[in-house]
């Protein structure tokens, strides 16, 4: 069988293939495409959920369209919806995204101990995607839960509103037996990450960020300085991970804004965390090239506003310039 046939016939993929949450991704930058526009009008544009737009469809619809045009689909991309599955009392599917910088001993331990259902080499050629079906009795609230991250960013568990681009380059390895002990190990692996996420959400309750921009005294004065700031870092320093790069840039801008508001003209003004977060957000919007992820939300916030809030929450009153 071909690589595509093996992929399509894999039980984990078949379980989610009819969910209308599929598209394909640009092979160069992993940007998910609007498959509906590609199939109906042959337009190649990034996937966007703005204004109720639905850029996704089922996997069979995609493969059928490509067959009609004598093409083979590459980089099938799935938009995870754990909250929908949990609400419908269906098995919850997740992806354990193991990063290229994950130490081999940790990577091998995950492969040998967790009861994964699907495994492939990621686009980088150095990471892994492990498809997981979560234990039915696991106690988690999936409603606002998008991703669970290892503290050293060795891996993350993708759950909601996150795309996973499948390479179809599957591992020739048998997964551990999915018995009661293995499911317990899986729960014991996930729950500490979930508890840490809950702890962070509690810490952020005092830092409420509204979707409408607050009034910011001397905003134009501050932005005359921030617009000319040069980051001076390359994405390669962050493993070519755009999200890590954007977060580091948010930290850098936050540091610079804190310097600016100490000048004589502004030092009598007591800026709130929300106002500072929005200043960082506006600069991210102005400086960073748009990508499809910017149209996604996290914790009810646009992606870049979420990144700005995370930078402010992480640094607190710290005076470091990079994350």
What confidence tier does 205 reach under pLDDT thresholds 50, 70, 90? Answer: low
Q: Which two tokens stand for residue 323?
A: 């994350």
- Count of CB atoms within 10 A of residue 39's CB? 18
What confidence tier does 319 reach under pLDDT thresholds 50, 70, 90? Answer: very low
pLDDT at 320 over 50: no
C-alpha 295 chain-centroid distance: 12
**Phi, then psi, of 232 in degrees rounded to 5:** 80, 15
**pTM, to two decimals:** 0.71
CA pair distance 229, 33, nearest whole angstrom: 32
Query: For residues 138 and 192, is the Cβ–Cβ distance under 8 A?
Result: no
pLDDT (tens digit per residue) in 226-244: 887 888 888 888 877 888 8
Q: Which two tokens stand for residue 227?
A: 């617009």
User: For strand 155-158 and strand 160-165, is the pairing parallel, antiparallel, or unpaired?
Assistant: unpaired
pLDDT (tens digit per residue) in 52-96: 788 999 999 999 999 998 988 889 999 999 999 998 999 999 999
CA-to-CA separations, 35 to 54, 140, 179, 310, in angstroms, rounded: 9, 32, 38, 31
Q: Which among 284, 286, 289, 271 is positioned nearest to 311, based on CA atoms?
A: 284
CA pair distance 19, 16, nearest whole angstrom: 5
What confidence tier does 30 reach under pLDDT thresholds 50, 70, 90? Answer: confident
pLDDT (tens digit per residue) in 1-23: 899 999 999 999 999 999 999 99
What confidence tier does 321 reach under pLDDT thresholds 50, 70, 90? Answer: very low
CA-to-CA separations, 26 to 71, 199, 294, in angstroms, rounded: 15, 36, 16
% the chain with pLDDT above 90: 59
Three-state SS at 58: coil
- What does pLDDT average to over the chain? 89
pLDDT (tens digit per residue) in 102-115: 999 999 999 999 99
User: When comparing pLDDT for 158 and 52, which is higher?
Assistant: 158
Q: Which two tokens stand for residue 276?
A: 């500072």
Q: Kindly write down the DSSP assignment for every residue of 163-193, as one continuous string.
A: EEE----B---PPPP-SHHHHHHHHHHHHHH
C-alpha 12 chain-centroid distance: 21
Task: Count Cα atoms within 13 angstroms, Cβ side, for 125.
Answer: 0
Q: Which among 285, 323, 279, 283 is positioned nearest to 302, based on CA atoms?
A: 285
Sign (positive/negative) of CA torsion 47, 125, 246, 233? negative
pLDDT at 317: 46
Q: Which among 106, 214, 209 is positioned nearest to 150, based on CA atoms?
A: 106
Q: Kindly write down the DSSP assignment for every residue of 132-162, as one continuous string.
A: EE--TT-----TT--EEE-TTSSEEEE-EEE
CA pair distance 304, 315, nearest whole angstrom: 17
Three-state SS at 32: strand
Three-state SS at 66: helix
pLDDT at 29: 72
Rg (CA), the chain: 21
């Amino acid at each position: 069988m071909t690589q595509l046939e093996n992929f399509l016939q894999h039980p984990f993929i078949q379980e989610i293939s009819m969910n209308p949450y599929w598209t394909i991704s640009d092979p160069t930058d992993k940007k998910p495409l609007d498959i509906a526009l590609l199939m109906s009008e042959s337009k190649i544009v990034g996937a966007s959920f703005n204004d109720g737009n639905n850029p996704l469809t089922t996997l069979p619809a995609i493969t059928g369209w490509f067959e009609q045009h004598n093409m083979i689909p590459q980089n099938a991309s799935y938009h995870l919806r754990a909250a929908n599955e949990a609400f419908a009392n269906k098995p919850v599917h997740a992806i354990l995204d193991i990063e290229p910088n994950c130490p081999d001993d940790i990577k091998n331990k995950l492969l040998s101990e967790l009861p994964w259902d699907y495994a492939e080499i990621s686009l980088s050629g150095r990471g892994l995607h492990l498809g997981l079906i979560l234990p039915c009795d696991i106690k988690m609230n999936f409603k606002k839960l998008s991703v669970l991250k290892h503290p050293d960013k060795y891996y993350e568990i993708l759950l909601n509103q996150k795309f996973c681009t499948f390479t179809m380059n599957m591992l020739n390895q048998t997964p551990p037996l999915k018995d009661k002990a293995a499911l317990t190990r899986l729960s014991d692996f996930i729950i500490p990450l979930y508890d840490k996420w809950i702890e962070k959400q509690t810490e952020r309750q005092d830092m409420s960020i509204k979707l409408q921009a607050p009034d910011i005294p001397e905003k134009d004065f501050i932005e005359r300085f921030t617009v000319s700031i040069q980051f001076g870092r390359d994405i390669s320093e962050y493993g070519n991970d755009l999200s890590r790069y954007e977060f580091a840039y948010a930290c850098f801008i936050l540091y610079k804004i804190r310097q600016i508001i100490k000048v004589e003209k502004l030092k009598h003004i007591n800026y709130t965390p929300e106002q500072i977060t929005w200043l960082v957000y506006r600069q991210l919007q102005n400086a960073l090239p748009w990508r499809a992820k910017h149209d996604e939300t996290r914790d009810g916030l646009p992606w870049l506003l979420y990144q700005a809030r995370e930078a402010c929450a992480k640094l607190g009153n710290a005076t470091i310039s990079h994350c």
